[in-house]
A = this chain, B = another copy of it.
Amino acid sequence: MAYRKTPAELRRLDAAREHLIARATAVVAEVGWSQASVTAVADSAGIAAGSVYQHFPSKSALAVEVFRRAAGHEVAVLEEVLRGPGDAVSRLASGVGVFARRALENRGLAYALLAAPAEPAVGAERLDHRRRYRALFAEVVREGIATGQLPPQHAEITAAALTGAVGEVLAYPLGAPDDTATGTTGSTGSTDDLLAELTATVLRCAGAAAHPTTA
């Protein structure tokens, strides 16, 4: 019974799987989790609905994989900035800036990752993902406290607050039809203004002294 697939076969299968994940990600970004049925995803990938089950045991498994890839990428990007060079406060500022900019550049996907209604399995994955953001923020906050840039505070709670604040501030621009609302009010301000205000708010929240240049 032990029959080993040739490398070429493996590569082909893997490519098909990757293609499916990529198309599923695109569909989710466009129409959200609830509308991303197996049929819709399969259509987009150019295969039959049944064929999806050659690559994933269930729709949930595919959805989770889609989420994990996309969210993992964002976490990695943020991690690189937050653990990069510079002092804690400026890393925090640029981390938030990078995160927000990326989200605003890919709104559909960002909304799906951050806020869009999703099945329980994806919801659980999202919680996990937010926990990682929290952990990253907490690291920086702790460092800031240690170096005296930030006042004493419960780093985990601040980190949770930062995660929530960033998500909520972005949620409205992201959730809006398209580019109708760059500012939170829907009427004022460009993306840059939004970013500047968000960064300032985040720094205040962590207790950083006013006006450090926001990378």
Closest to A202 in B: B161
Alpha-carbon distance A204/B198, docked complex (angstroms): 14
Pairwise interchain contact B160-A162, C-beta atoms closer than 8 A: no
User: From residue 195 to 211 of chain A, which have CB atoms closer than 8 A to chain B?
Assistant: 197-198, 200-202, 204-207, 210
Interface class of chain A by DSSP: helix
- The yes or no answer to A34 lying at the interface (CB within 8 A) is yes
Pairwise interchain contact A164-B156, C-beta atoms closer than 8 A: no
- The yes or no answer to A84 lying at the interface (CB within 8 A) is no
Query: What chain B residues lie within 8 Å of A50 (beta carbons)?
Result: none
Give this chain's copy count. Answer: 2
Q: How many residues of A contact B (CB 8 A)?
A: 44
Alpha-carbon distance A202/B127, docked complex (angstroms): 22
User: From residue 139 to 186 of chain A, which have CB atoms closer than 8 A to chain B?
Assistant: 151, 153-154, 156-158, 160-169, 171-172, 175, 183-185
Pairwise interchain contact B130-A168, C-beta atoms closer than 8 A: yes
- The yes or no answer to A117 lying at the interface (CB within 8 A) is yes
Alpha-carbon distance A201/B202, docked complex (angstroms): 11
Query: What chain B residues lie within 8 Å of A201 (beta carbons)?
Result: 153-154, 157-158, 161, 205
A168 touching B175 in the complex, CB below 8 Å, given contacts A185-B156, A210-B151? no
- The yes or no answer to A119 lying at the interface (CB within 8 A) is yes
- The yes or no answer to A120 lying at the interface (CB within 8 A) is yes
Query: What chain B residues lie within 8 Å of A120 (beta carbons)?
Result: 34, 117
Alpha-carbon distance A184/B200, docked complex (angstroms): 24
* A88 → chain B closest CB, angstroms: 16
Pairwise interchain contact B205-A165, C-beta atoms closer than 8 A: yes
Query: What chain B residues lie within 8 Å of A193 (beta carbons)?
Result: 154
* A87 → chain B closest CB, angstroms: 19
- The yes or no answer to A118 lying at the interface (CB within 8 A) is yes
* A85 → chain B closest CB, angstroms: 26
17 A-B pairs in the complex with CB atoms less than 8 angstroms apart: A117-B119, A130-B168, A154-B184, A154-B193, A154-B197, A154-B201, A157-B197, A158-B201, A160-B165, A160-B169, A160-B184, A161-B202, A164-B164, A164-B171, A165-B165, A165-B205, A167-B168
